[in-house]
Structures are given as C-alpha cells and as structure tokens.
Amino acid sequence: MLKQSLQQKLLQKLSPQQIQLMKLLQVPTIELEQRIKEEMETNPALEEGAEEEDEDIKEETEWEEETKEKEEADDFDFSDYMQDDDVPAYKTSISNKSADDDEKSTPYAAGASFRENIESQLALRDVSDQEELLAKTLIGNLDDDGYLRRDLENIVDDLAFSQNVMTTVEELEEILMTIQELDPAGVGARSLQECLLIQLRRQDQTYPSVRIATEVIEKYFDSFTKKHYDRILKKLEISNEDLKIAVSEIIKLNPKPGNSSRDSGKSNQQIVPDFAIVVEEDELRLSLNGRNAPELKVSNSYREMMKGYAESKKKDKKQKEALQFVKQKIDSAKWFIDAIKQRQQTLLHTMDAIMNYQKEYFLTGDETKLKPMILKDIAEIIHMDISTISRVANSKYVQTPYGTFLLKSFFSESLSTDSGEEVSTREVKKILLDSISAEDKKKPLTDEKLANFLRDKGYNIARRTVAKYREQLNIPVARLRKQL
C-alpha cells in the first residue's frame, strides 16, 4: 500500500570544501607541496603567485551580479558546472614527438642488491652448473638479515617438485659452507650463534681474546645471552678482565650481516618542520614554515575568458558549455586557495595554544617542565573539535632551540604526586631514563628499586607501571643491562 507523509530530519553533512580542508589539514609539509602540484596539474585556473589587486575581484563580482539575472532567464543551471568534467584521455595527450628529439631525463644510481652481491662473488668460484643452481637457490632463500631460516629438507623437496632437481641435505650442506665463506662475514648462518661463530673463526685465533670469545659463543651461548657471567667465569676458569675483553670482541660482531648491504642503499627520510619556535628575550615567537603557506592565485587568462563571455552578444550552446567549464575551474581554484588559507590559520592557532600551554618547557628545554596535556585540553582552549587537533598533531613537526620534535610527543597523560600535583608521564620517563643511565652497570637497578626511587621523589607509581614505561623507552630488564 502506497502512502505519502511529511517528515522532518536533522542531518549533519560535510560540504566538499570542509572535506577538502580536513584532508589538507592532516598532510605534512612535503605531502602538501605534492598535493598543490597535483591540483595545479588538474586545474589550469590555479597558478602560483600573489593574488591580484582587489579591483579585479570587485570587477568580476560586479559582472557576476549583472549577468546573474540574464543567465537565470536563459534557464542556466549552475549546479551543472559544479560537477567534475570527465575529459577523455586522448584530448589531453600528444604524439608529436620526433624520433630525433633528445631524451632529457635524470639518471638515478642504484647499487647491487644484497643477493646480487653474493651471486657475483659466487661467480668467481670454481663450481659446477649443478652446484651453481643449488647455491642460487640457497641465496634466494636468505632473508633480509642474511640468515637461512628454512630447513634444508624443505629446500630439497622444493627443488624436486618445482624444478625436478634431485639433491640431498648433505650436498646442500656443502654448498651452504661455500656461501658462508663469502662476504659479508656471517651470511648464510642458520642462527645467531652460527653467525657469530663464522665471524669469530675468520679472525686470528692466536689472540687470547678471540679464542675465549669463540669458546664462549660455541659452548656457553645461552649463559652469555642471559648474562650469567659468573657461570662462564667458573666453567672457563678465567679472570674477570679476560672475560671482559672477550665480550668486547663479541660486541664488535655484526648480528645481521644482510643489513650491512641493504641499509647502504636506503635513502634517509628528511624531516621538514611545519613550525619554528625561537626564544627572544624570554619570550616565545612562533612561525609557520613558508612551504606551508604558498602563494596561489586564480589564473588571469581564465578571468579574461569570463569577461569575454560577458561582453559577447552571442550566447550559443558552445559558449555556454565553455562558460560552465571555466566557471567550474575558477570555483575549484577559489575553494582550494581558501582551504590552504584555513589550513594555515588552523595550524597556527593550534600550535600557538600548545606553545602557551607548555610555555615553561619551550623557554627552558627541561622535559621535567612538561605539563600533562591531552587533545581535549587544546580543543577546549581554541574551541575546535578533538579530531581537528588530532589531525594537526599527528604528522607535524616543530623546530625548537632544543631539537625538532613530533607534535604529538608533547601530549601525555597525568600522574599524581604525594602533594596531589598533576605531573606529566613524560616527566616521570625522563627521571626514569636518567636513573638508569646513572646506575652501576655491574648492579643495575631492578624495576622494584626504580619504583621505590620514584616513590621517594614523591611520585605515586607501581612497579608494573615502571616496567611499562621502561618498555616504552626500549630499555631491557636489569639482568640484560648488566655489564662486567
């Protein structure tokens, strides 16, 4: 049964401009530059440079008001040109390049990969075709750390079923010994213990420190990893100084030989700060990175096209379609420029609130001066939504006189002291880190002792909380921090 009824609904919908602003707000500086380039490529009405004088804008506004009634009379629907135009790819591509034209491109240098380096060394060895095939199979099974994690029995089965190559575990063992003779030392090992032994056995065993280190790894590896040095001293019947020198030899070894080749080809990611804070005469001064505030404007040629249509007496279908395209591109350019400006204002507004909230820290650089601060605190100060603060803090960096930091690192929970004062958990972590750095490494502080130390300073903290903070700081337990 069909039925008609009237209903009222209250809906909250984000406009395209608001969505665009939210997306721009969360991108860091480097991605913002790329986003602007993409927008300029897709929208020819957007250009770099300072905005034109207000007279041009005023003149365009007056023309829009004069032509508004005429367009409405012509049944001109403005909602049509608010949609994106689907331009076929063949209309935006060219094929007029001559075969004689020079190809101007920037070459990029790329070194040999970790496995290619090992295979190039294998080519210098006197091996048969069968042995070369087996060796390349083993090299292909090495992980990024340079270890062979798979069982040789499984590799024998893979060769038989996938390549119809028959071999034995003993034959693969011999080939693996050959690979382990290649550089970097330790490659092809099946465990950390084997990796360290391969490296030690390449050294001169006439040195007592190398000989003792080899014996420690070969016979007492478990005791060494658990730092049960007393057991090792008793078994080997050596002095504490001899063991200390042997341990120093072991520490020099590379536990991940594959990384030595892999990391050399990596490019370091550059951090571009979004804000800069400087201290001038005990006052803080905040500035936004200029790359966050690019100068953009609407293309003059597109403005002239709009004026040309106004002056034209001929109003045919093609001209109206051209106007739709131009109008849509100009509107899109204006929206994007406004979104960039709103992004700048929001970033500065948020960072200014954070700077004033943590003023004592930014003036001194003392981490113990950091106050407890959560997203809600800043949101209430600047009267914005928590999600907006999260977008600003999540991927932005600030340059200070004490280093460049991720903005979200200044946010922390609170902890109560004996006096009832609320302090930042980051302050507690700093004290914890300083205490561990200053401890006697022969008798490192346990979590219980660290908790008692903090309680003596007035911080109400449990042992399990100390353990949690220690793990967040990537600090091992007391037993593993022990040194000779």
pLDDT-derived band of residue 8, with 50, 70 and 90 as boundaries? confident
My answer on whether 147 and 175 are in the same domain is yes
- 132 within a domain of the structure (yes/no): yes
The reported pLDDT for the residue numbered 353 is 93
- Percent of the chain past pLDDT 70, that is, above it, reads 79
Report phi then psi at 182, rounded to 5: -85, 170
- 154 within a domain of the structure (yes/no): yes
pLDDT greater than 90 at residue 442:
no
My answer on whether 336 and 392 are in the same domain is yes
Tally of CA atoms within 13 A in the half-sphere of 310 that contains its CB: 18
> Comparing 15-24, 49-58, 269-278, 382-391, which segment has the lowest mean pLDDT?
49-58
My answer on whether 146 and 245 are in the same domain is yes
Q: How many folded domains does the chain comprise?
A: 3
Residue type, 263: D
CATH of the domain at 448: 1.10.10.60
My answer on whether 302 and 433 are in the same domain is no
Contact 335, 20 (CB under 8 A): yes
Contact residues for 189 (Cβ-Cβ < 8 A; gap 6+): 146, 147, 148, 180, 195, 198, 257
Average pLDDT on 152-177 reads 93
pLDDT greater than 80 at residue 385:
yes
- Average pLDDT score over the chain: 81
Which residue, 200, 232, 262, sits at the end of a domain?
262
Which residue, 364, 380, 410, sits at the end of a domain?
410
How many whole angstroms separate alpha carbon 41 and alpha carbon 332?
A: 13
* Pairing mode, strands 414-416 and 422-424: antiparallel
My answer on whether 340 and 256 are in the same domain is no
> Comparing 59-63, 182-186, 375-379, which segment has the lowest mean pLDDT?
59-63
**What is residue 369's DSSP assignment?**
G
The reported pLDDT for the residue numbered 472 is 86
My answer on whether 239 and 334 are in the same domain is no
Q: Among candidates 36, 48, 19, which has minimal Cα distance to 299?
A: 48
The encoded tokens of residue 480 equal 């593993």
My answer on whether 133 and 247 are in the same domain is yes
The reported pLDDT for the residue numbered 264 is 46
Average pLDDT on 167-183 reads 94
- Percent of the chain past pLDDT 90, that is, above it, reads 34
Collapsing DSSP to helix, strand or coil, 19 comes out as helix
The predicted-structure confidence for 324-347, as pLDDT tens digits, reads as follows: 787 888 888 888 888 888 888 888
> Comparing 94-108, 265-279, 460-474, which segment has the lowest mean pLDDT?
94-108
- Where do the H-state alpha helices sit in 180-299? 192-201, 208-219, 221-225, 229-236, 240-251, 257-262
My answer on whether 256 and 383 are in the same domain is no
Contact 130, 174 (CB under 8 A): no
- 270 within a domain of the structure (yes/no): no
Which residue, 241, 262, 283, sits at the end of a domain?
262
- 127 within a domain of the structure (yes/no): yes
- 389-399 as b/e, with b when 16 or more CB fall inside 10 Å? bbbbbeebbbb
The reported pLDDT for the residue numbered 133 is 94
Collapsing DSSP to helix, strand or coil, 12 comes out as coil
- 468 within a domain of the structure (yes/no): yes
How many whole angstroms separate alpha carbon 175 and alpha carbon 127?
A: 10
Which residues form the domain of 311? Answer: 275-410
The reported pLDDT for the residue numbered 150 is 94
Contact 36, 344 (CB under 8 A): no
How many whole angstroms separate alpha carbon 35 and alpha carbon 32?
A: 5
Tally of CA atoms within 13 A in the half-sphere of 228 that contains its CB: 11
How many whole angstroms separate alpha carbon 394 and alpha carbon 274?
A: 12
pLDDT greater than 50 at residue 97:
yes
End-to-end CA distance of the chain: 88
Residue type, 209: S
Name which residue leads in pLDDT, 290 or 242: 242
My answer on whether 311 and 214 are in the same domain is no
The reported pLDDT for the residue numbered 309 is 66
Cis peptide before 294 (omega within 30 of 0): no
pLDDT greater than 80 at residue 310:
no
Contact 81, 327 (CB under 8 A): yes
How many whole angstroms separate alpha carbon 94 and alpha carbon 139?
A: 46
Contact residues for 405 (Cβ-Cβ < 8 A; gap 6+): 397, 398
- 9 within a domain of the structure (yes/no): no
My answer on whether 208 and 229 are in the same domain is yes
My answer on whether 325 and 348 are in the same domain is yes
Question: In DSSP terms, which residues pair with 288 in a beta bridge?
Answer: 275
Collapsing DSSP to helix, strand or coil, 30 comes out as helix
Entry pTM: 0.54
Contact 361, 115 (CB under 8 A): no
The encoded tokens of residue 262 equal 């892999």
Contact 473, 461 (CB under 8 A): no
- 433 within a domain of the structure (yes/no): yes
For residue 115, give Cα distances in angstroms to 108, 109, 150, 321, 419. 20, 18, 16, 59, 61
> Comparing 7-21, 325-339, 340-354, 445-459, which segment has the lowest mean pLDDT?
7-21
The predicted-structure confidence for 232-245, as pLDDT tens digits, reads as follows: 999 999 999 999 99
Contact 440, 480 (CB under 8 A): no
pLDDT-derived band of residue 178, with 50, 70 and 90 as boundaries? very high
My answer on whether 317 and 425 are in the same domain is no
pLDDT-derived band of residue 374, with 50, 70 and 90 as boundaries? confident
The reported pLDDT for the residue numbered 73 is 44
pLDDT-derived band of residue 274, with 50, 70 and 90 as boundaries? confident
- 156 within a domain of the structure (yes/no): yes
